[in-house]
Structure 1
C-alpha cells in the first residue's frame, strides 16, 4: 500500500484539525530513508491512481447537480490551482534533489488535481489550470507563491523538506476551511479525501525532517495539531495498490 493513497470517499471525514490520532509514531521508511532515485527508478503507481480517480469521478457523476454559492465556486477554483502548485513544486524539487517523496507525491497531487477538475466539470465551472504549463498559474498570488517556494526549495535539501511541510499543512488548512463553507456532500467527500492524502504527505516529509535534523515551525496548523498529525499512523486507502 503506498502512502499517496487517501482512502475511500464513502468513509466520510477522517482525522481533521484537532482530531488527529496521536501517541504512535508513523511507519518508518526502513531502507528507503535518505534514498534518492531517478525518474526511471521510481515505482509506477499510475495505474492505481487512475483507478482511484475513476472511483471518485464515478461518485461525483452520480451526485446531484445544483448551483453553487460564490464561496463554493471560489474554493473549487482555488483548490484546483493550489493542488497544481504542490504538483509543480514537487516536480521541480524532485528534479533538483531526487528525494523520493517529491517524486511519489507529485503523482498523487496530479490525482488531487484530477478530482477537483471532476467537480469543476460536474458543476459547470471553468478550469483555471486549463492548458497551463508546469510552473504557470492563472491566479497572480498563486504564481508568486509558486515562485517563492521553488526559490526556497532549490537552496538545499533541508529547505526543500521545509517547502514540502509548508505545502502540506497549507493544503490541510485550506481543505478544512473549504469543507466548512459547503453543505454539498460530494464536495465535502472530495475535500476529505484530499485532506487524508495531504496528511500522509505531511508524515512522509516529517520523516525526512527528522532524518536530516531540519528545524521547522508550522505556519498554518497549530504546533499541537501539526505534531500530532505528523506522528500519527499512515492512513490506508480502501483500494489495493
Structure 2
C-alpha cells in the first residue's frame, strides 16, 4: 500500500465549533471539534485515509447543497438549519485537508458540482427525488444522513490519527442528530415512520433511541418527550427516547454507496 509521508507543524490549538442545527420544535445542539497542538510531527497517512478525507469533504458539501436546494423548494426551516451545520462539517474536513496539504476536491466547485462523478450522479438523483413532495424531501434528508453515518464509520475504522478521529466522531454525532430531526419532522408532517435504507434496522433504532447526542437541551415538540442525552428529537408517543448514547456500528453490507463507488484516490 502506498503511503503519503507528510511533515507538518501545528502551532497552538486549533478549535472549531460545529453547530448541529435542527428545526425549532426539536431544539439546537452543538458539538466541539478540538485539534490538539503538536510540534514538528511526522505523520503518515495511508491512501485509504486520504481517500476518506476526500470523500467526506465532498459528501458533506453534497448534504449542504441538497439542503439549500430543498429549503428554497419547500421553505421548511429544518433544511436551512441543517444546511448551516453541514457547512461547518465540510469546513472542518477542509481544515484537515489543509493541515495535511491534501488538494481540495471541492475547490472551485459551485453548488451542486462535485469532482467525484458518482457523487455528482447521487446529487442529481436526490434533487429529483426531493422535488416530488415535502415527504420525499424529508426522506432524502434522512437518507443523506444515513449515508454520512455509514461512510464516517468506515473512514473512522481506517485511521488511528487522533485529530482525524476526533473530527469524524463529532461529524457522526451531528449526522445522528440530523437523522433524528428529519425522521421526527417526517412523522409530524405526514404521519409516516421513516424506514432506513442504508443502516441496518438495529443500528437505526439505536440512533433514534439515543435521542440527541452530546448536545445542549432542546425542547419537546408536543408529539412526545425525548429525555435521553439532550432533550428533544422524540417523535411522538414517547418514541425516540432513552439514555443510551452508544451507537450500534452494524450496517448493511454494501450500503456505503458513495464510498463504494469512489473508485480510489484521484
* Deviation for aligned residue 1:62: 4.1
Which has the higher Rg, Structure 1 or Structure 2?
2
Q: Secondary structure at the match of 1:218?
A: coil
Matched, 1:222 2:185: no
Equivalent residue runs for 1:73-92 within 5 Å: 73-92=50-69
Using the size of structure 1 for normalisation, the TM-score is: 0.74
Runs of 4+ in structure 1 displaced over 3 angstroms? Answer: 60-65
Q: 2:210 matched to 1:232?
A: yes
Work out whether residues 183 and 193 of structure 2, in 8 Å CA contact, stay in contact via their aligned partners in 1. Answer: no
Does residue 204 of the first structure (1) align with residue 181 of the second (2)?
yes
Give the equivalent residue in structure 2 for 1:142.
119
Is the contact between residue 183 and residue 194 of structure 2 (CA under 8 Å) also seen in structure 1?
no
Q: Give 1:172 deviation, angstroms.
A: 0.6
Q: 1:165 aligns with which of 142, 147, 160?
A: 142
Higher relative contact order (CA 8 A, sep 6+): 1
**Secondary structure at 1:233 match in 2:** coil
Structure 1 unpaired stretches of 5+: 7-26, 34-44
Q: CA deviation at 1:232?
A: 2.2
- In terms of fraction of residues, the more strand-rich structure is 2
* Cα distance change of structure 1 residues 147 and 231 upon mapping to structure 2, 3 Å threshold: same
The 10-residue stretch of structure 1 (212-221 or 116-125) with the greater mean CA deviation from structure 2: 212-221
Query: Could you give the per-residue CA deviations for residues 126-183 of structure 1, whole angstroms, max 9, x where no partner exists?
Result: 0000121000001100000000000000110010011011000110111011000111
**Matching of residue 193 in structure 1 with residue 164 in structure 2:** no
SS of the residue 2:192 aligns to: coil
Q: In the superposition, relative to structure 1, how do residues 87 and 62 fare at CA in structure 2: closer, same or farther (>3 Å)?
A: farther
- CA distance in 1: counterparts of 2:185 and 2:122, whole angstroms: 23
- 2:35 alignment partner, SS class: helix
How far apart are residue 216 of structure 1 and its match? 3.3
- Pick the structure with more helix per residue: 1
Q: In 2 relative to 1, CA 62–106 (structure 1 residues): closer, same or farther, beyond 3 Å?
A: farther
8 A Cα contact 2:173 2:214, kept in partner:
no
1:63-93 alpha-carbon deviations (Å, 9 max, x no partner)? 8451311000000000000000100000000
Matched, 1:103 2:56: no
Taking a change above 3 Å as real, the CA distance of residues 178 and 215 of structure 1, as seen in their structure-2 partners, is same
TM-score if structure 2 supplies the norm length? 0.67
Mapped to 1, the partners of 2:118 and 2:192 lie a distance apart of 28
Residues 65, 123 of structure 1: 8 Å contact kept? no
Structure 1 residues 63-72 or 136-145, which shifts more? 63-72
Structure 2 spans left out of the alignment, 5+ residues = 1-17, 217-266
What are the superposed Cα offsets for residues 157-213 of structure 1, whole Å, 9 maximum, x if unpaired?
010011011000110111011000111111111000100000110110011121112
For 1:32 and 1:5, how far apart are their aligned partners in 2? 16
Q: Which residue of 2 aligns with 1:130?
A: 107
Indicate if the aligned counterparts of 1:88 and 1:106 stay in contact, CA closer than 8 A: yes
Alpha-carbon distance change, 141 to 197 in structure 1, aligned in 2, over 3 angstroms = same
Q: 1:155 aligns with which of 132, 150, 154?
A: 132
Q: How many residues align?
A: 196
| Residue in 1 that maps onto 2:35 | 59
Q: Offset at 1:225? A: 1.5
